[in-house]
Amino acid sequence: MTAPTHIGPARMHALRAHAARNATPQARAIADLLAEVERLRTPAVPNPLTESETRAVLAIAQSETTEGAAERTGRSVDTIRTQLRRARQRAGVASTHQLVGLAFANGWLLRADLNSHLTPTEDR
């Protein structure tokens, strides 16, 4: 059996509740680990991108082409290009590759996000 690679909010809540109910060394260790996970999940640098720009960056990371990102999000190619250009400007990078790398490095996007399925009406 393999360990899950992503701990969802419900599982995190259950683990926190377990740690709070028990005063054992194991429960304290769980509480410490959960605090560390929360610290690591907190972005190193606040995300300067808008929600739409962040979705466009995620879509390009998933699709690798502007056309694929447009299809994935239900937006036009021009809209995706504009959102990526504005996102690059906000992030202070020259290329979309740099933007995607920066988004993952700073925690604006997570590996688990790559498995999400964006739909045209979905909000993150």
- The tens digit of pLDDT for each residue in 84-102 reads 999 999 999 999 999 999 9
| Position 124 confidence tier, pLDDT thresholds 50, 70, 90 | very low
Percent of the chain with pLDDT over 70: 83
Looking at the structure, tell me whether residues 18 and 62 fall in a common domain: no
Residue 71: which CATH number? 1.10.10
pLDDT at 122 over 50: no
Look at residue 3 and tell me if it is in a domain: no
A 10 A CB-CB count for 3 gives 5
Regarding predicted confidence, which is higher, 68 or 34?
A: 68
A 10 A CB-CB count for 84 gives 21
Over range 61-79, report the average pLDDT: 91
Look at residue 124 and tell me if it is in a domain: no
Q: What is the pLDDT of residue 117?
A: 63
* CB contact at 8 A, 66 and 84: yes
Look at residue 123 and tell me if it is in a domain: no
Look at residue 4 and tell me if it is in a domain: no
Q: What is the pLDDT of residue 101?
A: 92
Looking at the structure, tell me whether residues 33 and 55 fall in a common domain: no
Over range 32-59, report the average pLDDT: 84
Looking at the structure, tell me whether residues 35 and 57 fall in a common domain: no
Looking at the structure, tell me whether residues 69 and 94 fall in a common domain: yes
Count the domains in the chain: 2
Look at residue 95 and tell me if it is in a domain: yes
Looking at the structure, tell me whether residues 83 and 32 fall in a common domain: no
- The tens digit of pLDDT for each residue in 2-30 reads 555 566 777 777 878 888 888 888 888 88
Looking at the structure, tell me whether residues 30 and 68 fall in a common domain: no
Look at residue 120 and tell me if it is in a domain: no
**Span between the terminal Cα atoms of the chain, in Å:** 31
Percent of the chain with pLDDT over 90: 41
Q: Which domain holds residue 72?
A: 51-115
